Amino acid sequence: MPRVNTVLGPIPTEELGLVAVHEHIGYGMPGSELDTRWWKSPEERYDETVPKLRQFHEYGGGTFVDATGICNGRDVNYYQSLSEKTGVHIVASTGFVGGDTALPFFARASVDYLAAHFIHEITVGIGTTGGRAGIIKVGVSRGGRMTDLDKRIYRAAAKAALATGVPVLTHLAIDAENAIAIFTEEGLPLDRVLFGHVDDGVNADKTRDTWIADQGGRIGFDTFGYETELPDPPFWARPRRQRLEHFLRFIGEGRLHQVLASADANCSPLGWPGVKGHTVNYIFEDLIPDLRAAGLDEAAITTIFMDNPASFLSITN
């Protein structure tokens, strides 16, 4: 029976519904918790988070994949409570957003130890929460190329993906040759990997998205909504039309079955200001209407937001 690990336990893939495949309940760099500038009370956090998930549910959203890595403020007990109270399935990650977010204990660890840690979080649970990870996060550190630590993490992720059947989700798809070399050496089929952030404003023109797709990788256009037209855009923003056209061009080349899309929004950012007005619900309020206006039919939208995530997320042994 195809299944996906959510924070409340495995669910049949059939229950996923529409998936926001790359989002965050809250994200912050490790150490940001020491800076009171970012502190908010629990009630403020709840107030910033629950209505967004409720709205997602009311729009017809089924599953929220939280791509927050181990040291970035991941809080599985909290995700369990949110999921129970809003009816939104939440998938949590093991792994690290990038080597530069892996604290020293993990930075010093061997590939085998990292793999063992990921496997434990997937098969036994995260910390004392009992919640099991449903995806393995990896990523490229700031600076443009994979560091040695990034490579160790990618290798450990590949081992864990093979051992457990859970897929890999990448933060950035730059320096993809190195990433693909590692996955290939480890024997991980590339359709178990979602190469993320191919569309972001800083990295899109350095990302070999078609080449990666030709190798068999899945492609994430997952920073929708971070637009330069916003009053206070982040540095990775991109003009709305430009991103949309990039996406349409990509799927127009016969790659509809390889793409996934999301907004990479924070419900309540933990260690950065966030972007006001940018939420997971961009998917329903802006993206899907834009795609319909561009001529995509319901079948295509279902493929992008339901079938492709189901195939990606299902535990595959």
Output 46 or 272, the one with its CB closest to other proteins. 272
Using the rule CB under 8 A, which residue among 60, 103, 239, 294 binds other proteins? 103
2, 12, 15, 105: which one binds other proteins (CB under 8 A): 105
- Taking CB under 8 A as the binding criterion, the range among 114-122, 166-174, 181-189, 206-214 that sits at the site for other proteins is 114-122
Segment near other proteins (CB under 8 A), from 22-30, 183-191, 207-215, 216-224?
A: 22-30
Q: Is the dihedral of CA 287, 20, 77, 71 positive or negative?
A: negative
Q: Does 232 bind other proteins (CB under 8 A)?
A: no
Binding mask 142-181 for other proteins (x = CB under 8 A): x---------------------------------------
Q: Which residues, 52 to 71, sit near other proteins by CB under 8 A?
A: 70-71
Q: Say whether residue 48 binds other proteins (CB under 8 A).
A: no
Between 63 and 101, whose beta carbon lies closer to other proteins? Answer: 101
Is 121 in contact with 132 (CB distance < 8 Å)?
yes
Quote the distance between the C-alpha of residue 190 and its chain's center: 16
Q: Assess 248 for contact with other proteins (CB under 8 A).
A: no
- The whole-angstrom separation of Cα 37 and Cα 181 is 41
101 binds other proteins (CB under 8 A): yes
Task: Decide whether 139 or 167 has the Cβ nearer to other proteins.
Answer: 139
Contact status: 46 vs other proteins (CB under 8 A): no
Min dist CB 103 to other proteins, Å, is 3
Q: Is 117 in the site for other proteins (CB under 8 A)?
A: yes
- Smallest gap from Cβ 74 to other proteins, in A, equals 8
**Pick 202 or 296: Cβ nearer other proteins:** 202
> Which residues contact other proteins (rule: CB under 8 A)?
28-36, 39, 70-71, 100-107, 116-117, 120-121, 124, 127, 141-142, 202, 235, 271-272
